[in-house]
Structure formats: structure tokens, C-alpha cells
Amino acid sequence: MSDAPKDEAYSRRQAITTMAGVAAGAVILNEAVKAADNPAANVADKASTIKIKSLQTFPAGPKVFIKIETNHGITGWGEIDQLEPVAATALVKSLFELIDGENPTRIEHLWQKVFRSHRDMRGGPFMVHTIAAIDMALWDIAGKLWNTPVYRLLGGPTRDKILCYPSAKATKVGAGPAEFSGTPKDFDRYLNLLADARKRVGPDGMVMFDAHCALPPPFLMQLASKFDPFEVLYIEEAAVPGNIEVFRRLKQHIKIPLAIGERDRTIWEFIPYLQEGIADILQVDCAHTGGITQVKKIAALAEAYHVPLAPHAVTSDLGVSASFHVSAAIPFFLIHEYYPTALKNSFLKKNWKVDDTTGYATLPEGPGLGVEVDEAALKEFPKTYKGVWKWPLRGFLKDGSIADY
């Protein structure tokens, strides 16, 4: 027990308490000053006031381009691919009702809102191909808003360049509608195509075979048995999607890797291929499966099964750029399809290029998708386009019945 007088002990306690209070106040003040200079302590969603205000459509031959405008003057572009253009135009204008006035940076939320909006019409090619264009445009806006390429928003690049085909070192040969069982002459035709392709790319090149869902399972099993497994990188579109049992049967009889998925949509249609061990490669199409948002998710699912992506693409440079951004940001990737055409280059300016010798494309540069659209030229394009969209019935079998393709 202290021998100090009672008044003296009280004074000491009071002094200590006072000093502690001053010290604590100093700490709080210092922390407040530090917070004022600390960017992490001053995080604000600078995109909170941006809103979608309008949508424009631009039919261009077999495709429809869309432009989403915001109240901040930032616009995003998307592409509807492989749909009847009149129907696609009407549908995207109708779906705009669901995103009008919304914050375009809520990309996942808006994807779900559109997809789940009508319980009897969710999914399917018309809805999902149209959502893909909206999704591309929203990512384009987000990248421009934060002045960065889309792949930076997806986690950054996992590679420095993107391997593409066709090139001097990678090519594909394809099949058309065929009978249920082939003849020696039929098989020799495809074997000769593969042999010619191998000569073009050399022993260090890649040769792929596209069955186009056109070779019935009995025919394809016969034909694949004649392929040298070391000569063919993969067989694409082995069967028409819809019955997993058909793919399982083909997988049991074919030694060559199977590439699947260009006609499948959303994560839900890809799950069976992975669970059943049927897909060796996924040919996800950004414009068919629901846009960048879905491709990124499918890539994550495939990664868990050690299955790489070899994205399918028959879009313009706008759609290919969207697909490139995802390909740049995922770990498991094999090769990307890219066919330059006049349509791709007449009103679009991309900031990436493909080396035809090596097949490698540079990563997209600039904010958003990295594609500039000449709107005036786009509006003029339908006036000079000579093609007419028709339902593409591919062919008949020898007996007059309709063939798969």
C-alpha cells in the first residue's frame, strides 16, 4: 500500500488519466490525418452516377450491331451474331426496357436481370445471342469509364499474345452433310484433305478436323478410326448438341480429343460435357454463349477439369475483340478462331493484329474492347452489301431427307 497522502495519490491518478486522454486524442487525430491522405480510406464509386439512357441498332448484312449510350457520354458497342437480323433487331429493342436507366457497370446484375426476366423465354439462341451483344457493350463502357482494357477488369492478362488459326502453322479442314455410313471413297476424300493440310503446316503445325455436326455417329466413328491420332489436334463438333449419350458413345470409340461447345450456351449447357469427361477442349463462342460474362465463368469451370478453351468466332472484329479479352485473362487456353473478312474491316478499326506466319495476335489495346466504330460507314454499309440473309438449309441426303449441319 502506498504511503503517499490521499490528496497526493488522487492528483497522480488525475494527471495520469489526463495524459492518457491527450495521447489517445493525438493518436485519433494522427489517424484522421493519415486517412485523409490514404487513397484506400477514401474509396468512392465514381461510377455511381452513370446511367444507361439509350440504345441504337445497326443492321449490317447478316449481323446487328448495337450502341448503348450513357448520360456521361460514354458509349459501348456489341454485336448480335448468327440470328435472323430483323428478329434480332426487334428483340434487342424490346430487351432494352430491362436495362434503361440502369447503371451499366452492374454487368452481372443486368445479365441476370435480362436472362431471368421471363420464366418461359429464358435461354435459347435468340435471347442468349442478344444478351451477348448487350454484355459486350456493357464491358466496353466499363473499360472506357475506368480507361483500361477489359482484360484488366477480368484480372489482368495471363499471356502476352493469343494463338489463332488459320495461319501458316495452323489450319482446319471440314466436313459437309453425309450419309449414316461411308464408303472407301468417302473416307479417302477426308484423309486426302488431312494429308494436304499437314503438308501446308509442316510437322510442327496444327491440323484440326471439323465434323460440323454433319457426320452421323456411325460415319464419324468409321472415319476417325482411320485418322492418325498424332496428326489431328482435335475433332470439332462431333455431334449435334442435345443428347449427352451420343457424345459418350463417340468418346468411347474415338482416340482423338473432342472439341465441343460452339453451339452451346451459358454455363448450364457446358456442365454435362465436363462432368461426363467428354470434352477435351471447349470451343466457347463469346457471341453465342452470353458474352464475356459467361465465357469467363465457363473458363473457370473448365479449369477445374483441366480443359482448355479454343474459342469459336465467326463475328466481326468487334466480337472477336470481346473474345480476345477473355482469352487474354484465363489460364487454360489453346487456340482462337479468326477469319478476316471485308465485313470485319469496312467500318471497324481494331488495335490488335495477327502475324500470319506465327498465328499469334497481339493483345487488344486501349480502353474498353479496343475497337473504334465508324458510325457513318456502318450506316452506309447496308446500302452496298450485296448479300441477302436467308435461312441456311445446308443440304439433303441422297434419298431427299434433310441433313444435319
Q: Which three cell numbers stand for residue 78?
A: 456489341
CB–CB of 398/179 below 8 Å? yes
Give the pLDDT of residue 188.
95
Is residue 345 one of the residues assigned to a domain? yes
Is residue 209 one of the residues assigned to a domain? yes
Is residue 93 one of the residues assigned to a domain? no
Torsion, CA 80, CA 83, CA 84, CA 89, rounded to 10: -30
Give the pLDDT of residue 384.
86
Residue count (the chain): 405
Number of structural domains the chain divides into: 1
Give the pLDDT of residue 40.
53
Is residue 265 one of the residues assigned to a domain? yes
Give the pLDDT of residue 18.
47
Residue 267 belongs to what domain range?
153-369
Give the pLDDT of residue 344.
64
The answer to whether the predicted template modeling score (pTM) of the entire model surpasses 0.85 is: yes
What is the distance between the alpha carbons of residues 278 and 273, in angstroms, rounded to a whole number? 5
Contacts of 62 (CB under 8 A, 6+ apart): 82, 85, 387, 389
pLDDT tens per residue across all 405 residues of the chain:
444 444 544 455 554 444 444 444 444 445 544 555 665 555 556 668 999 999 999 999 999 999 999 999 999 999 999 999 999 999 999 999 999 999 999 999 999 999 999 999 999 999 999 999 999 999 999 999 999 999 999 999 999 999 999 999 999 999 989 888 889 999 999 999 999 999 999 999 999 999 999 999 999 999 999 999 999 999 999 999 999 999 999 999 999 999 999 999 999 999 999 999 999 999 999 999 999 999 999 999 999 999 999 999 999 999 999 999 999 999 999 999 999 875 666 899 999 999 999 999 999 999 999 999 999 999 999 988 888 888 988 788 889 999 998
Distances in whole angstroms, Cα of residue 333 to Cα of each of 164, 287, 319, 398: 11, 18, 18, 40
The CATH number given to whatever domain includes residue 364 is 3.20.20.120
Is residue 63 one of the residues assigned to a domain? no
Give the pLDDT of residue 41.
56
Pairing of strands 206-210, 235-236: parallel
What is the distance between the alpha carbons of residues 326 and 334, in angstroms, rounded to a whole number? 13
Is residue 40 one of the residues assigned to a domain? no
**Phi, psi (deg, nearest 5) at residue 69:** -110, 150
Is residue 266 one of the residues assigned to a domain? yes
Is residue 18 one of the residues assigned to a domain? no
Q: Name the amino acid, one letter, at 184.
A: P
Burial (CB count within 10 angstroms: exposed 0-12, middle 13-18, buried 19+), residue 284: buried
